[in-house]
Each structure stands twice: as structure tokens, then as C-alpha cells.
A and B are shown apart, each in its own frame.
Chain A
Amino acid sequence: MKSAEQKGDPQMTAIRRAIDLRLKARMRDEAAARAAAAHPDEDVINAYVEGWLEESKAESFTSHLVSCASCLHMTAQLIRFDPEMEEAASPSADLDQGPLQRFFDRLASGVLPSMDEDAVFAYQDKRESTDKSEKTESDPNPSEPETNKM
């Protein structure tokens, strides 16, 4: 069965576009509102993504996700993680010195950042920029579902 979009239903195209714009605007507002709010820790977030939360806790976290841009983004990043990368990162057996030694060596050489200093870094996720530009090149509508291209 073809989707409404594949059939070229302008009503569905319009509502999809409307949903896309509205959700982005809402999550931007949520991000600002929740900037200082309490969030579940990494242990809970990972347990959710890996599917280890008890059902009632998972439901509760899902409710949090739909209104918390920060945690939504965190879980999306974890979902986006490529399992092939994990396979490539096999344990290395050729460590020549202990990790604590290396840690303290770096600390002694002043490489580690001070925990008390504020620092500002310019940050751009080049991968996302690349993704977006590729998407734009192949598809003028950034919210077009992939099946449209099939």
C-alpha cells in the first residue's frame, strides 16, 4: 500500500510540513524552558535506549522525552550510533603504560583542562552539516520521508 505522500496527497504533504515546523518550534521553546531543569542521569538514559527500564519507568521517561529537547537529543544520538563502529573498536592489547600513569602524565604536562576555568569553544557538528547539505541536494524538502525517494 502506498502512503498518502507517495500518492501525492497535498493534504498530507501540508499537514506533514505543518507538523515538522510546529514540533521544531515547540522543542526549541522547550529547550530554553528546560535548560536548568533536572534530567534523568546517563544511567537511566542508557537503560532506556537499551530497553532495560521497567515498563512503568519507561513510560514515565517517554513522557519526559516528548517535552525535553535535551534528553530527546541525547537519546536520538544514542540511537543514531552506528553498531559497526563498536565492532571496529576492539580492545587494544598493546598498551604500554597504565592509564593512571598516562592520566597523571597529561595532568603534569598541563594538557588537561582546569575544572575551574571557563572556556568557550566554537563548535560545529560537521557531520550534521554534511548530512543536511546532502539531504538538501537530493531533496529540496528537508522533511520528505525517505520512502518518497524509493
Chain B
Amino acid sequence: MNDDNTRRRTVLETDSLKNLGSCTAQLRDSHAQCAQSYPNFDVPFEEFRDAVAAAATKYLIGLAEPNAQPSPAELERFIGELKIPDLYLGLACMRGNEHAWWEFDRQHRSFIERWTRHLLRGDADADEVIDAVYVELFGTRVVDGIRQSKFRTYTGRGSLRGWLRAIILHAAVDVHRAPKVEVSIDDWSEGGDDFPVRHVSGGETEDTMLTSVVRERYRSATVAALDQALATLDDHETLLLLYYHVEGLKLREIARIVEEPKSPIRRWFQRRSSKRSRVHESTVMRWLDKVYRKVHERFHAELAGKHGLKPEEIEICKAIAAEDPAQTINISPVTGSVLKKEEIRSEGAS
């Protein structure tokens, strides 16, 4: 069953790729293999070619310079890397071919259910999300005569199953209308440099007010220095920290993605390492350790240089930054009073 209202794109990307013609034989061969494997899917060669052209336009145009055209060799390699059977299946589903949908269900339905239930841990909610995913994949909206099947966005650059995982993640968020980021805000509740101005009650002594002013000064310096230190990191180093600290990925999970031969993080790591050994949890820990030291040195240098703080003041800043409840911060050289960390924590959270 073909759906005449479903067309991949109104503008043929083929026209914008000057060298695609040199790959016609490769494309015809790929298409013929798919048609042989799935004779009932009924995907015309032109539609298949246009889909590949759209993928190449999306991922190859402008790599070296704006609007730079990929060479015939680059296109050939790119097409060779595409998940052609997955793309063919997606195209046929997008056209509403019932044989293709049956095959899609056979290959992926069980996976979709498992992944959704794995994400949500609640069968009733999972059913809602699974239905939403199928609605999106099939496409119930029609814009300018074109049914908006989600398969329109699948290019075959990655696996169909990986793409489905991402679709389900988005669908789960949409269904639940919940923010995706579940960041603990127990500590350091005010981000950035906009720390709240502490309201001083009439009963507070002059010493306490002075302490408050000094504390705010240290706090501001701490945040600025830490941000500056973090800003000196390579994006990949920051990403490593974010995965570990913000997303809570385990060391073995980070190690696993680095082990992937084509992982972008692996490419980055290999440029910085003479070794090509396996990446274990301990390897990731060593990278983290290296990054911690880098931030620590830079943080120290910022506080001493830019903010002109003395060593004992830097220690106060470190304590503020870490909010270690066991640590007592003595700022008596400036104010003559002693603050306990718990006091700073409670005020910082106000």
C-alpha cells in the first residue's frame, strides 16, 4: 500500500549535490539489494536516491568550508557507511507500506516496549509512551498534503534502533511534560554569580554584618574563579565531567563509549594518548583526576592572581566551594568571628 500523500521532501536534495551522479551505480546496487530482500516494500529508486542525497546534504555539506561540496570519494564512503536496510525499511514505513510496518514490528516492537519500560519503570505509563511513539512514527498530521511521519527525519546515518531509542526518550518527556534535567539543587541553590543578597535583621551585630559582607566577597570570588577554571578546559574534558557529575554516568559506562571505535570521545582521547590499550574504569578515573588537577591549579591561580587573595583566604574559598560540613571556616583575621560550615550552607540555600 503506497501513500501518495507521503513524499520525503518537497525539494530534491539531489540537485544540490553535484557529485552524486558519480555514485549512481553504487546507489542502484544498494537499492536493488534492498528490493531483493524486501520485494513487497515498493520503494522507488528515485525516492531512495533522494533520501540518500538528503542525508549527504545534512551531514557532509559545509564540512571544510560553508557550502563546500563533498567529493565523489567522500560521497562513496558516506553511502557505504549508511545503514541502507534500515533506511529502506524506514522509507517504506513512511510510505505506509503495510508489509514494511509488519517487518518493522517484527524487528523492533519488542525492543521499543523493552526500552520504554526500562526508561519508565511503569507499565501503564510505558503503554502511553509506546502509543505516542507509534502515532509519531506513522504521522497523523498532514501539512501541505504530506503526512508528517517521523521516519522523514531518519537518514540512515546511525542505526534505526539507536534512532528509535532517541525518539522514545523524547516521546517519554513529551508525554509526561516533565523537565529532562533532574539536577540536584540541594546545594549551591543559586547558580551563576547572582547570589542572593543576604537580608540582615535588626538584631544582628555589626560583627555579623561584616562577616556577611566578607563572606559574599569570598563567595563571589570563588564562583568566578571556578567558572574561569572550568572555562579553560577542552570541551571534551568538560563533557567528561558533565557525564560523570551531572548525569551520574558510571565509570564503566563512560569507558564503554570510549571503547566504541568511532566514538568522538575516543578520537579525542587517542589524540592525547600514545597508548592504544583498552579503556577501563581506572583509565577514566585517571582522566578525571587529571582534569581535577587542572581545574584546581587554575582555580588557585585565579584566586591568587586575579582576585589577589592570600593563601588562607584561598582556603576559605575552597571550603565555600566544596561546602564540606565537617570543615570549620575561620575568617577571624578579617572579622574576628568564627563561622561554621553549616552556617554558610544554611545561608547559601536561603
Whether A78 pairs with B155 at a CB distance below 8 angstroms is no
Whether B118 pairs with A145 at a CB distance below 8 angstroms is no
Interface residues on B, range: 35 or more
CB-CB under 8 A from A77, the residues of chain B are 119, 169
Q: B248-281: which have CB < 8 Å to A?
A: 248-254, 256-257, 260-264, 266-267, 281
Contacts A73-B181, A127-B121: A14 and B106 contacting too (C-beta < 8 A)?
A: no
Whether B296 pairs with A80 at a CB distance below 8 angstroms is no
- Residue of A14, A59, A86 with most partner-chain B CB within 10 A: A14
Whether A51 pairs with B263 at a CB distance below 8 angstroms is yes
Whether A43 pairs with B230 at a CB distance below 8 angstroms is no
- Residue of B58, B192, B239, B264 with most partner-chain A CB within 10 A: B264
Contacts A15-B322, A99-B102, A146-B281: A76 and B247 contacting too (C-beta < 8 A)?
A: yes
Q: Give Cα distance in the complex from A46 to B251, angstroms.
A: 21
CB-CB under 8 A from B169, the residues of chain A are 74, 77-78
Contact of A78 among B165, B176, B251 (CB under 8 A): B165
Q: Give Cα distance in the complex from A143 to B241, angstroms.
A: 11
Q: Give Cα distance in the complex from A62 to B157, angstroms.
A: 18
CB distance from B327 to the nearest CB of A (A): 9
Which candidate, B6-14, B24-32, B125-133, is the interface stretch facing chain A?
B125-133
Which candidate, B108-116, B198-206, B209-217, B329-337, is the interface stretch facing chain A?
B108-116
Q: Give Cα distance in the complex from A3 to B321, angstroms.
A: 21
A138 within 8 A of B: no
Minimal Cβ-Cβ distance residue in B for A93:
B106
Minimal Cβ-Cβ distance residue in A for B187:
A21
Q: Give Cα distance in the complex from A108 to B109, angstroms.
A: 21
Whether B235 pairs with A51 at a CB distance below 8 angstroms is no
A8 within 8 A of B: no
Whether B243 pairs with A76 at a CB distance below 8 angstroms is yes
Whether B175 pairs with A121 at a CB distance below 8 angstroms is yes
Contact of B182 among A17, A25, A51, A125 (CB under 8 A): A125
Q: Is the interface of B mostly helix, strand, loop or mixed?
A: helix
CB-CB under 8 A from B257, the residues of chain A are 49, 79
Q: Give Cα distance in the complex from A85 to B293, angstroms.
A: 37
Q: Is the interface of A mostly helix, strand, loop or mixed?
A: helix
Whether B159 pairs with A50 at a CB distance below 8 angstroms is yes
Contact of B109 among A5, A79, A99, A100 (CB under 8 A): A99
B46 within 8 A of A: no
Contacts A28-B183, A126-B121: A111 and B106 contacting too (C-beta < 8 A)?
A: no
B286 within 8 A of A: yes
- Residue of B102, B120, B246 with most partner-chain A CB within 10 A: B246
Whether A95 pairs with B106 at a CB distance below 8 angstroms is yes
Contact of B246 among A72, A74, A92 (CB under 8 A): A72
Minimal Cβ-Cβ distance residue in B for A73:
B180
B42 within 8 A of A: no
CB-CB under 8 A from A4, the residues of chain B are 289, 292-293
Whether B128 pairs with A89 at a CB distance below 8 angstroms is no
Whether A78 pairs with B185 at a CB distance below 8 angstroms is no
Contact of B157 among A28, A43, A118, A121 (CB under 8 A): A43
CB-CB under 8 A from B222, the residues of chain A are 18
Whether B110 pairs with A55 at a CB distance below 8 angstroms is no
CB-CB under 8 A from A147, the residues of chain B are 251, 281-282, 285
Q: Mark A60-92, 1 if CB is under 8 A from B, else 0.
A: 011101100110111011111110011011111
Q: Give Cα distance in the complex from A49 to B157, angstroms.
A: 11
Whether A20 pairs with B245 at a CB distance below 8 angstroms is yes
Q: Give Cα distance in the complex from A91 to B244, angstroms.
A: 34
CB distance from A143 to the nearest CB of B (A): 6
CB-CB under 8 A from B254, the residues of chain A are 79
Minimal Cβ-Cβ distance residue in A for B135:
A112
Contacts A69-B180, A147-B285: A99 and B191 contacting too (C-beta < 8 A)?
A: no
Contact of B321 among A18, A45, A74 (CB under 8 A): A18
- Besides A23-B242, A24-B245, A147-B285, 16 more A-B contacts (Cβ < 8 Å) are A11-B296, A12-B289, A13-B322, A15-B292, A18-B321, A19-B230, A19-B241, A28-B185, A59-B235, A80-B253, A81-B165, A86-B111, A88-B114, A92-B110, A99-B105, A125-B120
Smallest CB-CB A-B distances: 3 pairs: A51-B262, A18-B321, A76-B247
| Chain B residues close to A by CB (< 8 Å) | 58-60, 63-64, 81, 96, 98, 101-102, 104-111, 113-115, 118-122, 125, 128, 131-132, 134-135, 138, 140-141, 153-155, 157-159, 161-163, 165-167, 169-170, 175-185, 187-192, 222-223, 226-227, 230, 235-236, 238-239, 241-254, 256-257, 260-264, 266-267, 281-282, 285-286, 288-289, 292-293, 295-296, 299, 318-319, 321-324
